[in-house]
Amino acid sequence: MLEELHRWVGGARLASCLLCLFALGCSEKAGTEVTPLDAYCPIDAAEVEARIDALLDALTLEEKASLMHGVQIIPVDGTWQSTSIPKNGIPGFHMLDGPKGVGVSSLLAGANGANTTAFPVAVARSATWNPELETRVGAAIGQEARAVGADTLLAPGMNIIWHPLSGRNQEYYGEDPFLAGEIGVAFVRGVQSMGVIANAKHYTANHIEDTRLDVNVNIDERTLRENFLPQFRRVVEEGGVGSVMTAYNQVNGSYCGEHSMLLGDILKGEWGFSGFVVSDFLWGTHNTVPSALAGLDLEMQIANVYGQPVVDAVNTGELDMANVDDHVRRILRAQFCFELDSNPPVLDDSKLETEETLALAREVATKSIVLLRNEAEFLPLSKTKAESIVLVGPLADAENLGDTVGSSAVMPSEVVTIAEGLLARTDLASTIEHVPGDLGDLDDQAKVSAADVVIVVVGLTDEDESEGQTRPPAPMLGGGDRDGYGLPMDDAAFLANVLSLNSKVVVVLIGGSAIDMSPWFEDTEAVLMAWSPGVQGGHAVADVLFGDAHPSGRAPMSFPASIEDLQAFPRMALDVTYDRYHGYQRLDKNGVAPFIPFGFGLSYTMFTYDSLTANTQSVGQDGVVTLRLSLSNTGTRAGVETVQVYAGAISPMVDLPVRKLVGFAQVRLDAGDGTTVELEVPVRELAYYEEGEGWVVGPGLYKLEAGPHVADLPTSVEVQVR
């Protein structure tokens, strides 16, 4: 593994990235006080800045302005590129998308037409609750990006899941900022360990797809700071992300690409972001001077408001040279700190779809599956329960990787469908038969009726949820936000038909977000949420169904009992107001029980929680509370448990969530074993944002609760914050 890293990363970057990759920490350089610039630049930051100073003196205004935009709508040599100036040693950027693998747009030729590994979608990877695993995914995608000639990966998507009906939920890491931050930081560190710049997007409040180019999000500063920015802040401050992409939408009346508070005051000011800010592609810029003054550094894909308009603005005095130099400095800093000039990507097909990346895709898919129902321990299947198994459903033999348009388009050479994964299990005593079609034939209905178990695969496709919008100027993208919370009508009717024929039904759900299961849930024996599971998804589903793998996925979002329990989702609105609470915090605040709680996931064994203690009864606002609890596997099989810790003020003086996630840890235990789990909770995680004051931790008594999910927290302890 070290030889592989050295080959792809290069010696200068390797030494400073090993700690990031393996220990998930990259905060100090030995013997020096670390500045944000030092943390951003793993090679000698002072030397890089001196080199940039010399270039700023040498470049003309026209050359500087040319560096601030892309060069062509159609990818050049398989990547979207920004301007290079070879005579000055400036390589430009070579970008590709990558939320679930190195992207190949279905509309444009990208990635040199290469086949790359399609991993499970981001929401599935957050369902693993496993940052170490996501670091490995990031490194694998970074390796493949370099192998097709890209040095900048337009991922991860760092928006939280605000509402189940949003079309791009599959690209994001769940509804909770803490969970999204943990997984996002891990992905960034993995990608950048390969010498590839990661790009955190879409900054920010980007959750309505159908009107994404124009919708204005009205949001008070506290709601923005507490719910929509924390995960972005973490990938900047902890992950050292190389770039940030602005969203298409407006926030409080200003487009994100020219929003001075978001870009200048918060991102570059408060957070000390040293990298570059890039616009979302083609339609993400509107006005030259407001964009430049706010802090947008690079316009992609082509010059619309930058380039010659920047030259004109400087010549008329609307912009000064110092502003242009700052943008160019950030662009050059990224290129030189990530050694895009001295260690550029090298095309290498042998690094694509390797045994290692395919095995990783299978591991991730397996660990992402959430067991939502298992009546009377119906699963795992065995010969005593299932001598004959029939597999049916519209998505049983579908190569369903999730969205196939725009950012999420990946083109693997082969996809293992669920049908292929199950039928490959020739080692089983059970007989498995795949019955395709709509079961209109009487013989097919008889097979379903006679089976010991019927596995039904239903859910969502890119026709139901995807990037895109339903109106000009980009109707060719199609897709967009969901038009309902339940299964598509054809899938719902199919499942109802199966349930009328046989009561021993296992449902495998596919999709990128929560789905209403209330009409049929109680009529099934078991339900698995398999998300959009990537190229090895069929094998992963089979591994969990037959017990070769333990189901360890946990829901990264709430599944509400009714969509009416959440804020309305005005998918065609041009003006929307975000409420203070969403997801489990909204349900908690309103005293409404979810259908599936945030963090929920069943197991093939049983875990018992006991004796939660804190290392102190009183702590200062800059302190850390160390929690310890006893965890036991009281079942008959080995298993993995995700211990979750939530905190809430007992008698708050201001409006606060009932509880919020402040920590989690995964533990594997053999049957009958027990252990002590230790977690640290910094008191800063209890802070709220007060406009005019900043982040505040209210003194008082706080309750820290631990358990398997937000609605089951069997053990707690109280701590006084001074």
Active site residues: 280
As beta bridge partners, residue 647 has 660, 704
Give the CA dihedral 464, 466, 470, 472, nearest 10 degrees: -160
| Amino acid at position 704, single letter | L
For the chain, the farthest-separated pair of C-alpha atoms sits apart, in whole angstroms, at: 82
- Residue 453, beta-bridge partner list: 389
CB-side neighbour CA atoms (13 Å) of 191:
33
Q: Residue 301, preceding bond cis, omega within 30 degrees?
A: yes
Look up tokens 């969970």; give the residue. 179
CA distance 241 to 243: 6
Q: Quick check: 438 and 392 in contact, CB under 8 A?
A: no
Contact between 229 and 261 under an 8 Å Cβ cutoff? The reply is no
The answer to whether 418 touches 509, Cβ cutoff 8 Å, is no
d(CA 440, CA 437): 8
State the DSSP code for 551.
-
CA distances from 588 to 188, 239, 566, 663, 700 (A): 32, 31, 11, 18, 21
Count CB-CB contacts under 10 A for residue 648. 18
| Inter-residue contact 156 to 200 (CB < 8 Å) | yes
Give the chain's end-to-end CA distance (angstroms, integer).
47
**In 3D, which of 480, 467, 574 has the Cα closest to residue 215?**
574
In degrees, rounded to 5, the angle at the alpha carbon of residue 94 between the alpha carbons of residues 90 and 96 is 165
Q: What is the DSSP letter of 596?
A: B
C-alpha distances out from residue 67 to 86, 303, 384, Å: 12, 10, 67
Distance CA 94, CA 83 (A): 10
Looking at the chain, how many residues does it have?
A: 722
Q: What is the 3-state secondary structure (H, E, C) of 436-503?
A: CCCCCCHHHHHHHHHCCEEEEEEECCCCCCCCCCCCCCCHHHCCCCCCCCCCCHHHHHHHHHHHHHCC
| CB burial of residue 144 (10 Å; 0-12, 13-18, 19+) | buried
Alpha helices (H) in 110-223, listed in sequence order? 122-126, 131-147, 177-192, 221-223
Radius of gyration of the chain (CA): 25
Reduce the DSSP state of residue 98 to 3 states and report it: coil
Q: Which of 689, 714, 707, 695 is nearest to 223 (CA)?
A: 689
Nearby residues of 309 by Cβ (< 8 Å), 6 or more positions away: 288, 303
Q: Which residues in 275-294 are b (16+ Cβ under 10 Å) and which e?
A: bbbbbbbbebbeebbbbbbb
Name which of 710, 709, 675, 702 is nearest 614 in CA terms: 702
Compute φ and ψ for 5, nearest 5 degrees: -60, -45
**Which residues lie closer than 8 Å to 134 by C-beta, 6 or more apart?**
125, 128, 183, 186, 187, 190
